[in-house]
């Protein structure tokens, strides 16, 4: 079963496995932010209404909108 960043709970650690077909519009933006395949990330916090989601990736904190986070497929570590 594939998951997205949106499906992860706080403090979950996962590796990026790819992008959803719906995420093709965001792909270049996400790649430029360092969200490349095989990169490990940790969910730091989620806003009360679920948008945005803050992650720690490559030593920095990044906030993603819910639709951007839903475009990134992950595997639990």
- In the chain, where the domains are located: 3-76
Model's pTM, two decimal places?
0.86
DSSP 8: P
pLDDT tens figures, 9-63: 999 999 999 888 876 777 888 888 889 999 999 999 999 988 899 999 999 999 9
Q: Apex CA 75: angle with CA 46 and CA 29, to 5°?
A: 65
Cα-based distances in Å from 27 to 13, 20, 48, 65, 74: 21, 9, 26, 14, 14
**Fold for domain 3-76?**
SH3 type barrels. (2.30.30)
Helix (H, G, I), strand (E, B) or coil at 6: helix
pLDDT band at residue 75 using 50, 70 and 90 as cut-offs: very high
Q: Which residue has the higher pLDDT, 8 or 27?
A: 8
């Amino acid at each position: 079963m594939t998951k997205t960043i949106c499906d992860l709970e706080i403090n979950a650690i996962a590796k990026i496995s790819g992008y959803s077909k719906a995420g093709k519009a965001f792909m270049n933006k996400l790649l430029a932010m360092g969200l490349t395949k095989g990169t490990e990330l940790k969910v730091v916090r989620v806003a009360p209404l679920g948008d945005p989601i803050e992650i720690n990736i490559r030593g920095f904190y990044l906030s993603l909108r819910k639709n951007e986070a839903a475009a990134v497929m992950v595997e639990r570590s």
